[in-house]
């Protein structure tokens, strides 16, 4: 098959799988599983095939529709980074699909779930390959709705529906900006084709405005401050979904789009500065919030927020390739961590670390996989995360300007905090005495769950070495990914400090939570600096109040005017009818008085003429 048709097939295969899956009756688990896994596997195979065959960027397009002078093209724009991300998506999606078969073994709504995961995959792949911003937006939003559906999947969790709505609305708020940004770019270029948009000159103001608008969408999707609040709540979804959302799809989309449209952002300093500040804040915020969580998935969720900020930081310092590198490694180790956490939860029956402990003996595979994942997360050499994080810090240190300094400093501090909370998670989960009955008798999950975890450990551990391959660097469009010089010592030292600090605190009382040393800051971190509450008070409640008052105004004033006109007419009718409820003589008076008045008026008028 020619690569021209393969490109569009990339999202099409899982899309068809999703469509068929949605039409299935709920009971047909097997077919659903085949469709789900088949869709993801098909996409992965196509991605591999393309990766092997495509050397030069290429694009195809057909006109989807034409609005006035603005055509919307359906087409793909495929280059090397595209395929790397597509591969990552394929791998994670396949892992998630396989894992889900077992994880949702006793869920009677598995069929729609699998189809929705397929749709999610298709949407992400559409974002990845699309050559047209409008079509990209299609994928972008479909992903949002899929995240909504999947987060709200769990019927037992009372907070699930709310979290799902929150995830969609918060990202949708950002998408207002994203849409407007696309509109600015498209109207300016007279086309929504990415190639045209990137190639057509923008005035500085327009460019800045467009970039900032797009950033709002990116912040929403990639969970950057201040639109990050949906992500931890999204943990209400089934664990594989968390893996999917946090690893390769959804959150990655924002980073990917910035990288794809990088010329728009780099054209003026303002967007980059905003990116930098956003990254610095989010990085620390996420990491600090992760220190005080008891829910294992929330720890991972906040770590995602923080890690995404690294990628944003890389973008801010002019290194989109590096950002994609971290995206890939993060996809691997975060998928691993979530799936592993899923195994733990599966075994313990709870999300809370206070009910775990000492699990390493009962679940060795999970333990070792998690250890690799956490090592990659904190940047332990030579695991994957080390290389990519190091590349980001190096890129920041090489760049000049306050933004770069800010990114670098916050990056290093975050390494410390990350090391601390990762260690805490590791120790609290797998060491010490079991703190609940379930934790005393842990068991490894079934193969369908264990294998994806184990397999994902491979890239988590080794993907970093890809940085040594020149081909990989070319594909990401960067040089010198590897910086084996003295500057790597700074993060390594900081890392060690973090790990040791956590270990020392833990060792004093292995049953207690190391987070206790945070003292009064603990609730602040646990509640992520109360940003949720602030948002609720500043945005949600006012909007609700506004809605209520608008409804009141609409019903009592706007409609009141209408009803009032009706009633008024009737009352007037009543009044006029009242005048007629009189004797015959009033009629005579009316005739003669009327004649007199009209006569007088006519005489007066006639006199004028």
Question: Measured from the CB of residue 489, what is the shortest distance to other proteins in angstroms?
Answer: 47
Question: Measured from the CB of residue 189, what is the shortest distance to other proteins in angstroms?
Answer: 12
CA quadruple 149, 155, 157, 158: dihedral sign: positive
Cα dist from 527 to 31, 169, 298, 521, whole Å:
43, 20, 11, 10
Question: Measured from the CB of residue 229, what is the shortest distance to other proteins in angstroms?
Answer: 15
Q: Of 67 and 465, which CB lies nearer to other proteins in the complex structure?
A: 67
Among 315, 302, 307, 328, which Cα is nearest to 81's?
Answer: 328
Question: Measured from the CB of residue 408, what is the shortest distance to other proteins in angstroms?
Answer: 35
Query: Which parts of 117-156 interact with other proteins (CB under 8 A)?
Result: 134, 137-142, 145, 148-149, 152, 155
Question: Measured from the CB of residue 8, what is the shortest distance to other proteins in angstroms?
Answer: 12
Question: Measured from the CB of residue 523, what is the shortest distance to other proteins in angstroms?
Answer: 29
Q: Which helix (H) or strand (E) holds 72?
A: strand 70-78
Q: Of 176 and 534, which CB lies nearer to other proteins in the complex structure?
A: 176
Q: Could you say whether residue 52 binds other proteins (CB under 8 A)?
A: no
Stretch that binds other proteins, among 445-453, 462-470, 485-493, 568-576 (CB under 8 A): 568-576
Question: Measured from the CB of residue 155, what is the shortest distance to other proteins in angstroms?
Answer: 7
Write the DSSP string, 236-271: GS-HHHHHHHHHTSTHHHHHHHHHHTHHHHHTSHHH
Query: Which parts of 590-609 interact with other proteins (CB under 8 A)?
Result: 590-596, 598-603, 605-607, 609
Torsion of CA 569, 572, 573, 576, to 10 degrees: -160
For the chain, the straight-line distance linking the first and the last C-alpha, in angstroms and rounded, comes to 93
Q: Of 124 and 347, which CB lies nearer to other proteins in the complex structure?
A: 124
Query: Which parts of 322-381 interact with other proteins (CB under 8 A)?
Result: none
- DSSP-derived pairing of the beta strands 70-78 and 58-67: antiparallel
Q: What residues form DSSP beta bridges with 66?
A: 71
Q: Tell me if residue 186 falls in helix, strand or coil.
A: helix
Q: Which of 4, 5, 26, 205 binds other proteins (CB under 8 A)?
A: 26
Question: Measured from the CB of residue 31, what is the shortest distance to other proteins in angstroms?
Answer: 17
Query: Which parts of 245-304 interact with other proteins (CB under 8 A)?
Result: none
Q: Of 134 and 335, which CB lies nearer to other proteins in the complex structure?
A: 134
Q: Of 185 and 422, which CB lies nearer to other proteins in the complex structure?
A: 185
Among 95, 108, 101, 9, which Cα is nearest to 60's?
Answer: 9
Q: Of 441 and 544, which CB lies nearer to other proteins in the complex structure?
A: 544
Among 321, 312, 162, 185, which Cα is nearest to 237's?
Answer: 162
Q: Of 486 and 584, which CB lies nearer to other proteins in the complex structure?
A: 584
H-assigned helices in 292-383: 296-316, 320-348, 364-378
The Cα 61–Cα 54 span in angstroms is 17
Number of Cα atoms under 13 Å in the Cβ half of residue 556: 6
Q: Of 190 and 349, which CB lies nearer to other proteins in the complex structure?
A: 190
Question: Measured from the CB of residue 591, what is the shortest distance to other proteins in angstroms?
Answer: 5
In whole angstroms, how large is the CA radius of gyration of the chain?
Answer: 30
Q: Of 55 and 574, which CB lies nearer to other proteins in the complex structure?
A: 574
Q: Of 447 and 594, which CB lies nearer to other proteins in the complex structure?
A: 594
One character per residue 523-562, x = contact with other proteins (rule: CB under 8 A): --------------------xx-xxx-xx--x---xx--x
Q: Of 74 and 310, which CB lies nearer to other proteins in the complex structure?
A: 74
Judged by CB under 8 A, the number of residues near other proteins is 93
Q: Which of 55, 56, 68, 106 binds other proteins (CB under 8 A)?
A: 68
The Cα 388–Cα 322 span in angstroms is 7
Question: Measured from the CB of residue 144, what is the shortest distance to other proteins in angstroms?
Answer: 8
Residue owning tokens 């303002």? 270
Stretch that binds other proteins, among 97-105, 338-346, 389-397, 579-587 (CB under 8 A): 579-587
Cα dist from 558 to 547, 563, 568, 572, whole Å:
15, 9, 15, 21
The Cα 21–Cα 17 span in angstroms is 6
Q: Which helix (H) or strand (E) holds 61?
A: strand 58-67
For 589: left if phi > 0, alpha if psi spans -120 to 50, otherwise beta; the answer is: alpha
Stretch that binds other proteins, among 37-45, 61-69, 238-246, 328-336 (CB under 8 A): 61-69
Q: Of 112 and 320, which CB lies nearer to other proteins in the complex structure?
A: 112
Number of Cα atoms under 13 Å in the Cβ half of residue 63: 8
Q: How many CB atoms lie within 10 A of CB 173?
A: 17
Q: Which residues contact 486 (CB under 8 A, 6 or more apart)?
A: none
Q: Which of 27, 53, 63, 534 binds other proteins (CB under 8 A)?
A: 63
One character per residue 152-191, x = contact with other proteins (rule: CB under 8 A): x--x--x-xxx-xx--xx--xx-xx--xx--xx-xx----
Q: Of 447 and 573, which CB lies nearer to other proteins in the complex structure?
A: 573
One character per residue 71-100, x = contact with other proteins (rule: CB under 8 A): -x----------------------------
Q: Which of 30, 205, 474, 589 binds other proteins (CB under 8 A)?
A: 589
Q: Of 507 and 544, which CB lies nearer to other proteins in the complex structure?
A: 544
Q: How many CB atoms lie within 10 A of CB 404?
A: 20
Cα dist from 464 to 218, 259, 415, 461, whole Å:
26, 20, 17, 7
The Cα 439–Cα 543 span in angstroms is 45
Stretch that binds other proteins, among 320-328, 372-380, 519-527, 582-590 (CB under 8 A): 582-590
Q: Which of 4, 433, 509, 567 binds other proteins (CB under 8 A)?
A: 567
């Amino acid at each position: 098959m020619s690569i021209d048709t393969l490109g569009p097939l990339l999202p099409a295969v899982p899309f068809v799988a999703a469509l068929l899956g949605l039409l299935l009756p709920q009971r047909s688990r097997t077919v659903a599983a085949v469709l789900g896994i088949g869709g993801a596997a098909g996409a992965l195979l196509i991605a591999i095939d393309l990766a092997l065959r495509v050397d030069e960027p290429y694009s195809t397009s057909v006109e989807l529709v034409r609005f006035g002078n603005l055509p919307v093209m359906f087409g793909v724009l495929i280059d090397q980074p595209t395929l790397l991300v597509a591969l990552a998506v394929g791998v994670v999606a396949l892992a998630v699909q396989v894992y889900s078969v077992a994880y949702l073994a006793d869920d009677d709504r598995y069929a729609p779930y699998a189809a929705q995961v397929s749709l999610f995959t298709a949407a992400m792949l559409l974002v990845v390959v699309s050559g047209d911003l409008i079509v990209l937006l299609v994928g972008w939003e479909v992903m949002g709705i899929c995240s909504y559906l999947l987060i709200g999947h769990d019927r037992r969790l009372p907070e699930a529906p709310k979290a799902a709505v929150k995830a969609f609305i918060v990202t949708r708020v950002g998408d207002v900006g994203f849409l407007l940004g696309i509109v600015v770019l498209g109207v300016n270029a007279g086309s929504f084709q990415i190639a045209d948009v990137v190639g057509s000159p923008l005035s500085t103001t327009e460019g800045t405005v467009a970039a900032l608008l797009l950033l709002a969408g990116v912040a929403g999707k990639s969970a950057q401050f201040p639109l990050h609040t949906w992500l931890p709540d999204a943990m209400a979804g089934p664990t594989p979904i968390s893996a999917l959302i946090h690893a390769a799809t959804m959150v990655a989309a924002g980073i990917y789009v910035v990288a794809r449209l990088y010329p728009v952002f780099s054209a003026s300093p303002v967007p980059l500065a905003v990116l930098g500040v956003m990254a610095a804040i989010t990085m620390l915020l996420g990491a600090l919030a992760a220190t005080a969580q008891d829910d294992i998935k929330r720890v991972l969720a906040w770590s995602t927020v923080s890690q995404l900020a690294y990628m944003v930081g890389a973008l801010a310092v002019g290194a989109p390739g590096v950002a994609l590198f971290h995206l890939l490694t993060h996809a691997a180790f975060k998928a691993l961590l979530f799936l592993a956490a899923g195994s733990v939860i599966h075994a313990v029956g709870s999300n809370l670390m206070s009910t775990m402990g000492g699990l390493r003996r009962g679940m060795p595979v999970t333990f070792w996989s998690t250890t690799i994942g956490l090592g990659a997360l904190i940047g332990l050499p030579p695991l994957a995360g080390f290389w990519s994080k190091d590349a980001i810090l190096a890129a920041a240190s090489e760049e000049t300007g306050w933004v770069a300094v800010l990114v670098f400093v916050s990056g290093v501090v975050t390494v410390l905090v990350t090391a601390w909370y990762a260690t805490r998670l590791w120790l609290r989960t797998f060491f010490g005495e079991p703190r609940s009955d379930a934790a005393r008798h842990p068991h490894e999950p079934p193969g369908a769950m264990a294998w994806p975890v184990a397999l994902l450990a491979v890239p988590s551990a080794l993907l970093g070495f890809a940085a040594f391959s020149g081909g990989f660097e070319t594909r990401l469009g960067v040089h010198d990914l590897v910086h084996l010089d003295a500057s790597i010592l700074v993060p390594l030292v900081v890392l060690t400090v973090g790990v040791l600090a956590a270990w020392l605190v833990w060792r004093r009382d292995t049953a207690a939570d190391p987070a206790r040393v945070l003292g009064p800051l603990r609730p602040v971190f646990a509640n992520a600096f109360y940003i949720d509450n602030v948002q609720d008070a500043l945005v949600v409640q006012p909007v609700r109040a506004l809605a209520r008052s608008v409804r009141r105004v609409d019903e009592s004033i706007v409609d009141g005017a209408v009803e009032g006109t009706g009633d008024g007419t009737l009352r007037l009718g009543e009044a006029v009818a009242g005048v007629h409820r009189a004797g015959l003589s009033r009629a005579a008076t009316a005739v003669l008085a009327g004649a007199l008045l009209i006569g007088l008026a006519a005489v007066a008028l006639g006199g004028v003429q």
